[in-house]
């Protein structure tokens, strides 16, 4: 994704200007937030020598994109398979109890209908062989497959919607036949610019072949709050096609350089707000892009010093704040204070922030707040009756 930042930034800016106003009171999901909500891209676990060690916090889900395991990497010449790197990744994931999402696609030159661009395969049987070989080898060890990356961008796809629909259908039938437990994720378009592509794909019947709808909710250079109208626009497309019951996954999002994020603390706040708001808006899985990619505006791990950035610490904190809790509500006030209420086995908590700057927030006495946990600091007791909030979320915990 980061290889095409200039084009992506232009598309995102256009989409932001066209975006709609979103509701300030979100209809949050009723289920408890599972660990599977949290996913990562990890790029520098390079086989056979890892430049990045495995993250010190749990990694429930891992999407293998920009990981050198696309179709051209696995079958650079017809019938010549190279699985060493993917074998290494799968083994590493198993060691850490991590589930894998593998994007399928990117036609190798030998199989391409138009080798100079990213096209459909010339012969669909080559696609069938590729999918069959991968799924047979990794049955039960790769849990989900995504049919193509960002097909609304010519850097990744120059074929027609009908052609990718055929590839989706063929792959889905093979995957469900060979590994019935595996999840099939739709091709995942990106930015506001991808909504029309998704609408056409679903109108032509693509939804019947997939278990999950994938999307890349990039909003650079906007704020995390801009995720909400984009998510709602995608949900509207699903509703119009009778697919509101399909899970919606954000299979790739981060903030692209050269987006201006003024401090590492604010970068941590961006990551936290993105995860909070995406769940509140109805996204069921979110793969952060990327753990160790220095081309991104928000970096979570510093390879040179082998340390977490504040954003990396925020990722772990979000796992601790959200997993196992139910979000009972999430709303924005007229002065842009955001309040998201959590319920953890009857114990109430509130996440607060204001994206526009520092404010004083009068804490309702009925909340019976006992302690305050800033995103990047330790918990301390609450002395009230008000508290400072700003762009970096804080957590208030009520008395048992």
Q: Are 263 and 359 members of one domain?
A: no
51-62 residue pLDDT tens = 788 999 999 999
Looking at the predicted structure, is the pLDDT value of residue 206 above 50? yes
Residue 54: which residues within 8 A CB-CB, separation 6 or more? 42, 45, 92, 96
Q: Among residues 302, 325, 348, which one ends one of the domains? A: 325
Q: Among residues 299, 325, 351, which one ends one of the domains? A: 325
Helix crossing, 161-178 with 195-203: angle to 10°? 70
CA-CA-CA-CA torsion for 274, 280, 283, 284, nearest 10 degrees? 110
Q: How confident is the model at residue 288 (pLDDT cuts 50, 70, 90)?
A: very high
- Range(s) of the domain holding residue 369: 330-398
Burial track 256-270 (b if 16+ CB lie within 10 A, e otherwise): bbebebeebbbbbbb
Q: Are 301 and 371 members of one domain?
A: no
Please give the share of the chain, as a percent, with pLDDT higher than 90: 87
**More confidently predicted of 293 and 372:** 372
Separation between Cα atoms, residue 186 and residue 201, nearest integer Å: 9
What's the confidence (pLDDT) of residue 17?
Answer: 44
Cα–chain center distance at 303:
22
pTM value > 0.75 = yes
Is-contact 248 238, C-beta < 8 A? yes
Separation between Cα atoms, residue 73 and residue 28, nearest integer Å: 40
Q: Among residues 285, 306, 325, which one ends one of the domains? A: 325
Average pLDDT over every residue of 7-32:
61
Looking at the predicted structure, is the pLDDT value of residue 208 above 70? yes
Q: How confident is the model at residue 49 (pLDDT cuts 50, 70, 90)?
A: low
Q: Are 131 and 236 members of one domain?
A: yes
Please give the share of the chain, as a percent, with pLDDT higher than 70: 93
Q: Are 151 and 31 members of one domain?
A: yes
- DSSP assignment of 151-213: TTSTTT--S-HHHHHHHHHHHHHHHHHH-TT-EEE--B-BTGGGHHHHHHHHHTTGGGG-SBE
Number of domains the chain is built from: 2
- Which two tokens mark 308? 């977490």
Looking at the predicted structure, is the pLDDT value of residue 333 above 70? yes
Separation between Cα atoms, residue 350 and residue 393, nearest integer Å: 10
Average pLDDT over every residue of 78-100:
97
Separation between Cα atoms, residue 40 and residue 59, nearest integer Å: 7
What's the confidence (pLDDT) of residue 15?
Answer: 45
**Domain with 176 in it: what CATH number?**
3.20.20.80
Q: Are 161 and 215 members of one domain?
A: yes
Least confident window among 249-263, 278-292, 326-340: 249-263
**More confidently predicted of 16 and 346:** 346
Strand partners, 348: 343
Q: Are 339 and 369 members of one domain?
A: yes
| SS3 readout for 48-63 | CCCCCCCCCCCCCEEE
Q: Are 284 and 374 members of one domain?
A: no
- Tokens 């607060």 correspond to 352
Q: Are 218 and 366 members of one domain?
A: no
What's the confidence (pLDDT) of residue 22?
Answer: 42
Separation between Cα atoms, residue 317 and residue 310, nearest integer Å: 10
- Of the candidates 353, 363, 362, the one whose C-alpha atom is nearest the C-alpha of residue 266 is 353
22-47 residue pLDDT tens = 446 899 999 999 999 999 999 887 66
Average pLDDT over every residue of 152-163:
97
Residue 323: which residues within 8 A CB-CB, separation 6 or more? 33, 34, 35, 37, 38
**Domain with 385 in it: what CATH number?**
2.60.40
Q: Are 316 and 376 members of one domain?
A: no
239-275 residue pLDDT tens = 999 999 999 999 999 999 878 899 999 999 999 999 9
Tell me whether the omega of the peptide bond preceding residue 276 falls within 30 degrees of 0, making it cis: no
Q: Are 308 and 345 members of one domain?
A: no
Mean pLDDT of the chain: 93
Mode of pairing for the β-strands spanning 99-104 and 144-147: parallel
Average pLDDT over every residue of 76-102:
97
Q: How confident is the model at residue 48 (pLDDT cuts 50, 70, 90)?
A: low
Q: Are 256 and 353 members of one domain?
A: no
What's the confidence (pLDDT) of residue 116?
Answer: 92
C-alpha distances out from residue 83 to 78, 86, 87, 201, Å: 14, 5, 6, 31
What's the confidence (pLDDT) of residue 259?
Answer: 80
Cα–chain center distance at 123:
32
Q: How confident is the model at residue 156 (pLDDT cuts 50, 70, 90)?
A: very high
Q: Are 259 and 308 members of one domain?
A: yes
């Amino acid at each position: 994704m980061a290889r095409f930042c200039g084009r992506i930034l232009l598309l995102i800016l256009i989409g932001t200007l066209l975006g709609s106003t979103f509701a300030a009171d979100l209809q949050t999901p009723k289920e408890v937030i599972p660990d599977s909500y949290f996913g990562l891209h990890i790029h520098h676990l390079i086989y056979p020598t890892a430049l990045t060690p495995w993250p010190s916090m749990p990694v429930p889900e891992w999407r293998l994109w920009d990981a050198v395991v696309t179709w051209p990497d696995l079958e650079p010449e017809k019938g010549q398979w190279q699985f060493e790197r993917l074998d290494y990744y799968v083994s590493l994931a198993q060691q850490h109890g991590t589930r894998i999402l593998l994007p399928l696609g990117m036609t190798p030159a030998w199989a391409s209908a138009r080798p100079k661009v990213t096209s459909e395969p010339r012969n669909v049987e080559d696609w069938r062989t590729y999918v069959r070989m991968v799924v047979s080898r990794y049955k039960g060890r790769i849990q989900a497959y995504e049919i193509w990356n960002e097909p609304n961008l010519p850097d990744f796809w120059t074929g027609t919607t009908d052609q990718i629909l055929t590839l989706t259908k063929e792959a889905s039938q093979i995957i469900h036949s060979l590994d019935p437990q595996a999840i099939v994720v739709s091709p995942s378009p990106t930015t506001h610019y991808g909504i029309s592509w998704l609408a056409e794909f679903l109108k032509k019947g693509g939804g019947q072949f997939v278990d999950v709808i994938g999307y890349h909710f990039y909003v650079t250079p906007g704020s995390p709050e801009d995720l909400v109208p984009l998510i709602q626009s995608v949900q509207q497309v699903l509703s119009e096609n009778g697919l509101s019951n399909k899970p919606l996954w954000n299979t790739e999002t981060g903030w692209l350089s050269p987006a201006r994020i003024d401090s590492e603390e604010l970068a941590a706040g961006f990551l936290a707000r993105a995860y909070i708001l995406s769940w509140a808006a109805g996204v069921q899985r979110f793969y952060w892009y990327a753990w160790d990619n220095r081309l991104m505006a928000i970096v979570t791990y510093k390879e040179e010093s082998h340390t977490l950035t504040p954003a990396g610490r925020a990722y772990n904190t979000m796992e601790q704040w959200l997993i196992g809790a139910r979000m009972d509500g999430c709303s924005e006030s007229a002065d842009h204070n955001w309040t998201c209420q959590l319920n953890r086995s009857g114990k109430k908590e509130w996440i607060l922030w204001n994206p526009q700057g520092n404010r004083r927030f009068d804490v309702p006495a009925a909340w019976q707040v006992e302690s305050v946990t800033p995103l990047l600091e330790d918990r301390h007791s609450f002395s009230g009756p008000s508290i400072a909030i700003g762009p970096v979320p804080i957590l208030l915990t009520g008395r048992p």
